[in-house]
Structure 1
Amino acid sequence: MVKLCVGAETIDDLADWQARQLQRIPEPVHHTRMMPKRAEEMLDGGSIYWVIKRAIRVRQRIIDIRAITDEEGRAMCELVFDTDLVRTYAQAKRPFQGWRYLKPTDAPRDLKTGEAARDIPPDLDAALKQAGVW
């Protein structure tokens, strides 16, 4: 699943927001109106890939998907995440509303320890790859 991380300018912003959440609740969550039709598939090792500043930059494993009711009695979906934020190679993503399914083959790979320095802007990364630099 891929989702815009509205209001976050950096991965640290997302981490700070979730740290504040964890002071009130036991696990990081996100509420959305629609229940994913492919929830079982997503619970079998799936992740949410967060788009920050027009690029996928980080992911979190989805550990539960719950049907809940909001304060106004509307049916909602609660996505529950692992606390680990796993940085990925930046992958450009245009703005969109809601969330989208992401095929595993289309997901950016995780950055390994020590690779963080190569987390460069997606446009520059694509140009360097096209030029054969890496």
Structure 2
Amino acid sequence: MDGMSPLNITKIAYGCDGFDDLRARLAARIERGEQIVLTTRYMPKRADEMAGGSLYWISQHRFGLRQPLVGFSELEGGRCGIVLAPVLIPVEPRPRRAHQGWRYLSAEDAPKDLPEGGEAGSQIPVALHAELAAMGLI
């Protein structure tokens, strides 16, 4: 990578009603002792650039959480597993269009982590924060 920032990916939290739902699902999987693996059809072509990167979760058309990428694994049927750390880190609730599958996200375009102990929208409601960010006001 020659000193460059790691590449990240984005993914829609499909089937989740919001970030609280995603947190609850992750906590249940951790309690059962499951490894957190996102299954995808093919190994990302730029997987080597993703060392040290994160998966940024999107729900209700905005970023809200990220999970550090741990690595990749080969699964049955030639599929790929994207192994994620069992932790969710709150990030600025920036607007993001929905998409299928996952997409690459450069470090420069990634939303910043919220301060320690911060939650998306802890000072103002998340939806309002996202609207203000979309207008470039915050």
Q: TM-score range with shorter-chain normalisation?
A: 0.7 to 0.9
Residues 90, 118 of structure 2: 8 Å contact kept: no
Which stretches in structure 1 are left out of the alignment for 5+ residues? none
Q: How many residues end up aligned between the 2 structures?
A: 125
- Report the 3-state secondary structure (helix = DSSP H, G, I; strand = E; otherwise coil) of the residue aligned with 2:94: strand
Q: Distance in 2 between matches of 1:118 and 1:97?
A: 31
Deviations 1:17-65 (A, max 9, x none): 122223444421111112101112112x100000011111100000011
Q: State the match for 1:125 in structure 2.
A: 133
Q: Distance in 2 between matches of 1:2 and 1:76?
A: 19
Q: Distance in 2 between matches of 1:114 and 1:22?
A: 21
Q: CA deviation at 1:115?
A: 4.1
Determine whether 1:103 maps to 2:114: no
TM-score normalised over the length of structure 2:
0.81
Which residue, 11, 14, 34 being the options, matches 1:3? 11
Q: State the match for 1:49 in structure 2.
A: 56
Q: How does 1:1-134 map to 2 (within 5 A)?
A: 1-43=9-51, 45-69=52-76, 74-113=77-116, 115-116=118-119, 117-118=122-123, 120-121=126-127, 122-127=130-135, 129-130=136-137, 134=138
- Report the 3-state secondary structure (helix = DSSP H, G, I; strand = E; otherwise coil) of the residue aligned with 1:95: coil
Single out whichever of 106-115 and 21-30 deviates more from structure 2. 21-30
- Report the 3-state secondary structure (helix = DSSP H, G, I; strand = E; otherwise coil) of the residue aligned with 1:89: coil
Q: Percent identity?
A: 34
Q: Distance in 1 between matches of 2:105 and 2:22?
A: 20
- Report the 3-state secondary structure (helix = DSSP H, G, I; strand = E; otherwise coil) of the residue aligned with 2:17: coil
Q: Distance in 2 between matches of 1:115 and 1:81?
A: 21
- Report the 3-state secondary structure (helix = DSSP H, G, I; strand = E; otherwise coil) of the residue aligned with 1:109: coil
Single out whichever of 20-29 and 50-59 deviates more from structure 2. 20-29
TM-score normalised over the length of structure 1:
0.83
Which stretches in structure 2 are left out of the alignment for 5+ residues? 1-8
Distance 1:94 1:65, change over 3 A: same
Over 3 Å off, 4+ runs: 23-26
